[in-house]
Structure 1
Amino acid sequence: MLLFLFMSAFAGTEAFSQKNDVLVKSPDKLLSVNVQLREGKAFYSVSYAGRSILEPSPLGLVSDLGDFSQQLQWAGNKRKTIREQYVLDRGKVSKVDYNANELRCAFLNAGRDTIEVLFRVSNRDVAFSYLIPQNGKGAVACTVEREVTGFDFPAATTTFITQQALPMTGWMRSKPSYEEPYSIEEAVGVPSQNKVGYTFPALFHVGGQAWALVSETGVADNYVGTRLSEGTADGLYTIAFPQNGENNGQGAASATAPLPFQTSWKTITVGKDLRPVVASTVATDVVKPLVKSEKVFSPGRATWSWIIWQDSSANYNDQVTYIDLAANLKAEYVLIDALWDKLTGKEKMAELARYAASKGVGLLLWYNSNGSWNDAPYTPKNRMNDRTVRREEMAWLQKIGIKGLKVDFFGGDKQVTMQLYHDILVDAAEFGLVVNFHGATLPRGWERMYPNWVSSEAVLASENLVFQQSFCDNYPQTATIYPFTRNAVAPMDFGPVFLNKRLSRTQQKGSIRRTTDAFEMATAVLFFSPVQHWGLTPDNLAGEPEYLLDFIRNVPTTWDETRLIDGYPGKYCVIARRKGSKWYVAAVNGEPQEKTLTIQLPMLANKEVSVIKDGEGQSSVLQKQKIGTSVTITLKKAGGAVLFN
Structure 2
Amino acid sequence: MTALTRTALALVAAFSTQAQAAFLTSPDGRISVAVTAAPSGALTYAVAREGKPVILPSPLGLQLQGADLASGLTLAATSPRKLVRDSYELAAGKKRKVSYAANEQVYTVRNAQGQAMDVAFRVSNDGVAFRYRVAEPALPHKQFVSEATGFNFGQSAKAWLQPMSVAQTGWMNTNPAYEEHYQREIAVGTKAPTAAGWVFPALFQAGDTWVALTEANMDGSFHASRLEAESPNGRYKLGLPAAPEVFTNGALLASARGELVTPWRIIALGTLRTVVESTLGTDLAAPAVAFDKARLQPGHASWSWALLKDDGTVFDIQKKFVDYAADMRWDYTLVDADWDRKIGDARMRELVAYAAKKNIGILVWYNSSGAWNKTEYSPKGALITREARVREFEKLRAMGIRGVKIDFFAGDGQSMIAYYVDILNDAAKAGLLVNFHGATLPRGWSRTYPHLMTAEAVKGFEFTTFTQADQDAVVRHAAMLPFTRNLFDPMDFTPTVFGDIPKIERKTRNGFELAESVLFLSGIQHFAETPEGMATAPAYVKTFLQDLPRSWDETRFVDGYPGRHVVIARRAGQAWYVAGLNADDADRRFELDLSFMGKRSGTLIADGQGKREFSQSGIKGGKQTVSIKAHGGFVAVFK
User: Structure 1 length as normaliser, TM-score?
Assistant: 0.94
Alignment partner of 1:73 is 2:74: yes
Equivalent residue in structure 2 for 1:89, among 76, 88, 91: 91
Q: 2:49, 2:210 → 1: CA distance?
A: 10
Q: AA paired with 2:622?
A: T
Deviation of 1:192 after TM superposition, in Å, equals 1.5
Whether the 8 Å CA contact 2:299–2:332 is kept in 1: the answer is yes
Alignment partner of 1:549 is 2:542: yes
Whether the 8 Å CA contact 1:60–1:68 is kept in 2: the answer is yes
Deviation of 1:290 after TM superposition, in Å, equals 5.3
Matched with 2:590 is 597
List per-residue Cα deviations over 1:353-409 (Å, max 9, x = no partner). Answer: 101101100000000001101101111100111211111111110001000000000
Deviation of 1:19 after TM superposition, in Å, equals 5.7
Deviation of 1:65 after TM superposition, in Å, equals 4.4
Q: AA paired with 2:97?
A: K
- Alpha-carbon distance change, 470 to 136 in structure 1, aligned in 2, over 3 angstroms: closer
Q: AA paired with 2:194?
A: N
Whether the 8 Å CA contact 1:55–1:153 is kept in 2: the answer is yes
Q: AA paired with 1:540?
A: G
Whether the 8 Å CA contact 1:316–1:348 is kept in 2: the answer is yes
Matched with 1:114 is 116
Q: 1:627, 1:541 → 2: CA distance?
A: 28
Whether the 8 Å CA contact 2:162–2:202 is kept in 1: the answer is yes
Classify the secondary structure of the residue corresponding to 1:266.
strand
Q: AA paired with 1:151?
A: F
Deviation of 1:624 after TM superposition, in Å, equals 4.0
Deviation of 1:293 after TM superposition, in Å, equals 3.0
Q: 1:257, 1:558 → 2: CA distance?
A: 38
Deviation of 1:536 after TM superposition, in Å, equals 1.4
Matched with 1:13 is none
Matched with 2:174 is 174
Q: 2:37, 2:253 → 1: CA distance?
A: 26
Deviation of 1:17 after TM superposition, in Å, equals 14
Classify the secondary structure of the residue corresponding to 2:137.
coil
Q: Over aligned residue pairs, what C-alpha RMSD do you find?
A: 1.6
Matched with 2:55 is 54
List per-residue Cα deviations over 1:163-190 (Å, max 9, x = no partner). Answer: 1111100000000111111011111122
Classify the secondary structure of the residue corresponding to 1:92.
coil
Whether the 8 Å CA contact 2:498–2:534 is kept in 1: the answer is no
Aligned runs of 1:222-371 on 2, under 5 Å? Answer: 222-247=221-246, 250-271=249-270, 273-289=271-287, 291-295=289-293, 296-371=295-370
Alignment partner of 1:21 is 2:14: no
List per-residue Cα deviations over 1:165-221 (Å, max 9, x = no partner). Answer: 1110000000011111101111112221113311111001114x2210001111121
Deviation of 1:249 after TM superposition, in Å, equals 7.4
List per-residue Cα deviations over 1:334-369 (Å, max 9, x = no partner). Answer: 011101111111111111110110110000000000
Matched with 1:165 is 165
Classify the secondary structure of the residue corresponding to 1:365.
strand
Equivalent residue in structure 2 for 1:535, among 519, 528, 535: 528
Aligned runs of 1:468-479 on 2, under 5 Å? Answer: 468-479=467-478
Classify the secondary structure of the residue corresponding to 1:637.
coil
Whether the 8 Å CA contact 1:141–1:259 is kept in 2: the answer is yes
Deviation of 1:541 after TM superposition, in Å, equals 4.2
Classify the secondary structure of the residue corresponding to 1:189.
coil
Alignment partner of 1:587 is 2:580: yes
List per-residue Cα deviations over 1:73-105 (Å, max 9, x = no partner). Answer: 111111211122222222210111211100110
Aligned runs of 1:445-594 on 2, under 5 Å? Answer: 445-500=444-499, 502-504=500-502, 510-594=503-587
Q: 1:627, 1:499 → 2: CA distance?
A: 27
Alignment partner of 1:611 is 2:604: yes
- Alpha-carbon distance change, 374 to 579 in structure 1, aligned in 2, over 3 angstroms: same
Deviates more, 1:611-620 or 1:519-528: 611-620
Q: 1:481, 1:22 → 2: CA distance?
A: 37
Q: 1:396, 1:156 → 2: CA distance?
A: 57
Deviation of 1:248 after TM superposition, in Å, equals 7.8
List per-residue Cα deviations over 1:17-36 (Å, max 9, x = no partner). Answer: 98621110111111111001
Matched with 1:150 is 150
Q: 1:612, 1:62 → 2: CA distance?
A: 56
Q: 2:50, 2:636 → 1: CA distance?
A: 34
Matched with 1:130 is 132
Whether the 8 Å CA contact 1:547–1:622 is kept in 2: the answer is no
Matched with 1:395 is 394
- Alpha-carbon distance change, 455 to 154 in structure 1, aligned in 2, over 3 angstroms: same
- Alpha-carbon distance change, 626 to 199 in structure 1, aligned in 2, over 3 angstroms: closer
- Alpha-carbon distance change, 17 to 116 in structure 1, aligned in 2, over 3 angstroms: farther
In structure 1, runs of 5+ residues without a counterpart are 1-15, 505-509
Q: 2:421, 2:296 → 1: CA distance?
A: 17
Q: 1:180, 1:361 → 2: CA distance?
A: 33
Whether the 8 Å CA contact 1:189–1:230 is kept in 2: the answer is no
Whether the 8 Å CA contact 2:247–2:419 is kept in 1: the answer is no
Whether the 8 Å CA contact 1:17–1:73 is kept in 2: the answer is no
Classify the secondary structure of the residue corresponding to 1:130.
strand
Q: 1:543, 1:338 → 2: CA distance?
A: 28
Whether the 8 Å CA contact 1:528–1:557 is kept in 2: the answer is no
Classify the secondary structure of the residue corresponding to 2:98.
strand
Classify the secondary structure of the residue corresponding to 1:86.
strand
Classify the secondary structure of the residue corresponding to 1:543.
coil
Classify the secondary structure of the residue corresponding to 2:546.
helix
Q: 2:618, 2:167 → 1: CA distance?
A: 53
Matched with 1:104 is 106
Deviates more, 1:348-357 or 1:193-202: 193-202
Where do 4+ consecutive residues of structure 1 move more than 6 Å?
none
Deviation of 1:604 after TM superposition, in Å, equals 2.0
Whether the 8 Å CA contact 1:17–1:74 is kept in 2: the answer is no
Q: 1:146, 1:290 → 2: CA distance?
A: 30
Deviation of 1:291 after TM superposition, in Å, equals 2.3
Whether the 8 Å CA contact 1:406–1:438 is kept in 2: the answer is yes
Matched with 1:507 is none
Alignment partner of 1:429 is 2:428: yes
Deviation of 1:621 after TM superposition, in Å, equals 3.7
Deviates more, 1:261-270 or 1:290-299: 290-299
Q: 1:543, 1:600 → 2: CA distance?
A: 33
Q: 1:240, 1:412 → 2: CA distance?
A: 13
Deviation of 1:515 after TM superposition, in Å, equals 1.2
Q: AA paired with 2:455?
A: S
Q: 1:601, 1:331 → 2: CA distance?
A: 29
Alignment partner of 1:630 is 2:623: yes
Matched with 2:413 is 414
Q: 1:450, 1:23 → 2: CA distance?
A: 34
Whether the 8 Å CA contact 2:247–2:415 is kept in 1: the answer is no
Q: 1:118, 1:258 → 2: CA distance?
A: 20
User: Structure 2 length as normaliser, TM-score?
Assistant: 0.95
Matched with 1:10 is none
- Alpha-carbon distance change, 346 to 90 in structure 1, aligned in 2, over 3 angstroms: same
Q: 1:76, 1:516 → 2: CA distance?
A: 59
Whether the 8 Å CA contact 2:608–2:615 is kept in 1: the answer is no
Q: AA paired with 2:501?
A: L
Q: 1:232, 1:419 → 2: CA distance?
A: 29
Whether the 8 Å CA contact 2:149–2:237 is kept in 1: the answer is yes
Q: 1:71, 1:542 → 2: CA distance?
A: 68
Matched with 2:9 is none
Deviates more, 1:555-564 or 1:247-256: 247-256
List per-residue Cα deviations over 1:24-80 (Å, max 9, x = no partner). Answer: 011111111100111111000011112111110000001124110011111111121
Classify the secondary structure of the residue corresponding to 1:418.
helix
Whether the 8 Å CA contact 1:412–1:440 is kept in 2: the answer is yes
